Amino acid sequence: MKINSEAELIEVGATLGKELNTPAVVELVGDVGAGKTTFTRGLAQSLGVSENITSPSFTIAKRYAFTQQNSQKTLVHYDFYRLPDPGIMYEEIAEEIANPDSIVVVEWGGDVADLLPKKHIMVRIKVLDDGGREVEINRGTT
């Protein structure tokens, strides 16, 4: 689908977020500046996360609490762009993916691709020449 603004990208993220139940894994694919964190902002808002969602590019992971089905859950947002080798983060992400109370969002997940469940959601965001975005959401892909 064609996206023409940041607000539209947030809304697409929110629409997906409304469909998610824990556990879930979302892989975001796109170039630097494509809008992966903006998409995550919409997803998080739809889950009821009140904190400001920022890129975990330098911290590798950020955690946000939310309530779903009357119990405390966690949105964990990973960004492996600046991490040439996932090392100890490999074990952490494996634990989060196995956690039945987590929604895990992964940016730049190539080095941990073997950990992602076969039935995860892949969101591809492509920057178009006119500055818009093309967003493709594949549910249950590898």
From the list 59, 62, 52, the residue with the least C-alpha distance to 105 is 62
| Range 9-38 average pLDDT | 95
Residue 118 Cα distances to 36, 43, 103, angstroms: 21, 21, 15
Mean pLDDT of the chain, nearest integer: 90
pLDDT on residue 103: 97
Percent of the chain with pLDDT over 70: 94
Two tokens at 96?
């989060």
Rounded to the nearest angstrom, the gap between the alpha carbon of residue 76 and the centroid of all alpha carbons in its chain is 8
Q: What is the residue extent of each domain of the chain?
A: 2-137
How would residue 89 be classed by pLDDT, with cut points 50, 70 and 90? confident
Whole-number pLDDT of residue 113: 82
- 49 Ramachandran zone, left/alpha/beta (phi>0; psi -120 to 50): beta
Better pLDDT: 121 or 55: 121
The confidence band for 82, taking pLDDT boundaries of 50, 70 and 90, is low
Residue 142 has pLDDT above 50, yes or no: no
Render pLDDT for 42-51 as a digit per residue (tens, 0 to 9): 999 999 999 9
Q: Which of 56-60, 76-80, 83-87 has the highest mean pLDDT?
A: 76-80
pLDDT at position 4 over 90: yes
Residue 86's pLDDT is 63
CATH number of 2-137: 3.40.50.300
Q: For residues 108 and 100, which has the higher predicted lDDT (pLDDT)? A: 100
